[in-house]
Amino acid sequence: MAEEEGMTITLKKQDLWRYSTFLLVAVLIVGGFFVMTNDKTPTGNVVDNPAGNLPGNSAPVEVSVDDDPMIGDKNAPVTIVEFSDYECPFCGRFFLQTYPQIKKEYIDTGKVKLVFRDFPLGFHQNAQIAAEAAECVRKFGGDTAYFKMHDKIFANQESLSEANLKLWASEITGADISACLASGEKTAEVNKDLQEGQSYGVGGTPSFFVDGIMIEGAQPFSAFKQVIDAQLAKA
C-alpha cells in the first residue's frame, strides 16, 4: 500500500512538471508575439493588406520629395513618393507586378510622377550599397540613368553584389562608379531618406505616399488605382 501511495505521488509530480513546462512554453510564445507586434523597428515584413491601414484610411502626411530621382511629368497633378529597399522581396514584387501598370496608365500619360526614396533595411546585406550605387549612377547620367539602374537592380535582385552593381552601372552610363562608392559620398543622401521616412511613419518596405496618403506593402494595382483616381478627381 505504501508503495502504491509513493507511486501515485511520483506520477503527480511528473504531471506537475509536464504542465509547468507546457505553461512556460505558452507564456514565452505569447510574450514573443507581443514583443514582435509592438516592435516598431523597420522589418520589411509589410503584408499585402495590413489590417487597419487600408488605402485612404489615414490622414494625408506632408511628405518631402527632397531632391530625389523622379520619373514622369514634373507637372503631373498627382505625386507618389515611394520608400523602398533594393533587396526587399516585397519591393521586388511591387516592381514586377504593380509598377508596370502604374507606369503605363498614370506615369506615361502625364497624370502621375513618382519619386523614389531609399529605405535600406539593416538586415539586407546589399541594400545600402545598392542604394548608393544607384545614386552614383544618377551622378553620371541623371534621373533617366537612375531609373534604368533602378529597373536593372529590381529585375536582378537574386544577383545583387558590389561587382554586379559596378558592372550594371558601367553598362548604363559607361562610367566607373568605384570611386563614388568607395568615397561614401552618397551615404548621407541615402541615410537622409531613411531618417525622413521614419519621421513620416514608414516602418517597412515598400511604403508609398500618394499625395500624402499612405499605402503600405506590395499592394495590387487596384489599391493604388483607388487612391490615384480619387486624387485626380480633386485636381
Site of grid cell 550605387: 133
**Residues 173/140, Cβ–Cβ less than 8 Å:** yes
- Lookup: cell for 143: 534621373
31 lies in the same domain as 118: no
Query: Counting Cβ atoms within 10 Å, is residue 7 exposed (0-12), middle (13-18) or buried (19+)?
Result: exposed
pLDDT one digit per residue (tens) for the chain, 235 residues: 444 444 444 445 455 445 554 444 443 443 443 333 333 344 444 434 444 445 555 789 999 999 999 999 999 999 999 999 999 999 999 999 999 999 999 999 999 999 999 999 989 999 999 999 999 999 999 999 999 999 999 999 999 999 999 999 999 999 999 999 999 999 999 999 999 999 999 999 999 999 999 999 999 999 999 999 999 999 8
Site of grid cell 504593380: 98
34 lies in the same domain as 74: no
8 lies in the same domain as 99: no
Task: Write down the pLDDT at residue 14.
Answer: 52
**Integer Cα distance of 107 and 111 in angstroms:** 6
- Lookup: cell for 231: 486624387
57 domain residue, yes or no: no
Domain encompassing residue 82: 70-234
Q: H helices within the chain, ranges in order?
A: 2-38, 89-97, 99-102, 127-155, 162-173, 178-183, 187-199, 221-234
62 domain residue, yes or no: no
What's the number of domains the chain is made of?
Answer: 2
CATH of the domain at 117: 3.40.30.10
Task: Write down the pLDDT at residue 4.
Answer: 43
**Integer Cα distance of 176 and 155 in angstroms:** 21
